[in-house]
Structure formats: structure tokens, C-alpha cells
Amino acid sequence: SVGFYDDVLFLSDISCSSSTFCMMVGNGGSTLSGNVVTSSNPTGDQSQWIPTPLANILVSDYCRPAFCLAAGGSSIASSTNPAGWSGAWTVLPIKGAGNLFAVSCGDVCVALGDGAFEVAGNVSKINKASGWTKVSTNWLPTEVSCVKSLCVAMDGTGHVFVGTARG
């Protein structure tokens, strides 16, 4: 079954934690800007996708069962009940983060933005500003993927950064 979401041009990322839960994030230029859009029936029609307004322009998301992150602007939003209303989300400004545009978690969470990694030493620290540490780079990573203690980041010119968590 294939569904269709009318405002798809303004959705910038999607993550599914299972075949029964997916989340998309909305970026600028639409009524979905700053929203997480979740579904417990991702193959259903548009009415099965529920927008939840948060803050900022969201450009990246990451989900696993009972835990999701969204990143955009200089903020990270997290929830252990991502299908819940906006009160189920914590929005945390990350001081000095610049524009965040990619996020992923394993044993640690990594957010990418403006020439730096923002790293949360472990998932339990993601809702505390002190839990995030800036790691500067001399290149601009654009994508990141983490699993367990491994995170791999890359840019569009062939640079690949491989790191392991010390949490």
C-alpha cells in the first residue's frame, strides 16, 4: 500500500522505528514547519499522519522504539512518547550549535551542524544542555549514522569520520 502526504515538499526527513511507527519532520515554507508528523499506521492515508507543532525548523529526525529525536535550527527535540501531543516533547536549545541538520543515536547521540558535531555522552543526557559537547571539525559533515557505540559521519566530498563512543 502506498500513501500520499500533500505537503511532502516541505517534509525533510523520515525515520521509522518499526513497521507500525514512523515520524517525519517539517522544515520551512509550509504549515508543517517546526512539526513532527507521526503515524502508528504509516501505510494508511494522510489522515493517519498526525502533525505535532514543536519549535524551529526541523530538518532531521531519528527514532527507535519509544524514543525519537528531531533537530533543526539550534535545538534538539526529544520524546519517549513521540506519538503524544507537543507536551510529550522536550525542546532543548543547544548553545553555540549553529544550524543543526542531521541527528542519529546509538549508545551516544550525535547531531551535526555548521562544521561541528554535537555529542551527547549517552542517551540519558540528551535533555540537559550540559549533556551535549561540541567537537569542531575542519570539514562540514552532512550525514551521520550511529549504532551501538559506532558513529559514522560523512560529507559530500569523500571525507568519512568513524568514531566509537566512550560514553
| Residue 58 or 97, more confident | 58
| Mean pLDDT confidence for 5-25 | 80
What is this structure's pTM? Answer: 0.81
pLDDT of 1: 44
130 Cβ partners below 8 Å, 6+ apart? Answer: none
Lookup: cell for 119: 555529542
Lookup: cell for 122: 549517552
Confidence of residue 41 (pLDDT cuts 50, 70, 90): very high
Query: Which DSSP letter does residue 114 get?
Result: T
Of 8, 39, 36, 34, the C-alpha closest to 22 is 39
| Residue 99 or 122, more confident | 99
Query: Which DSSP letter does residue 10 get?
Result: G
- State yes or no: pLDDT of 101 exceeds 70: yes
Query: Which DSSP letter does residue 73 get?
Result: B
| Mean pLDDT confidence for 142-157 | 87
Q: H helices then E strands: how many in the chain?
A: 0, 15
pLDDT of 15: 92
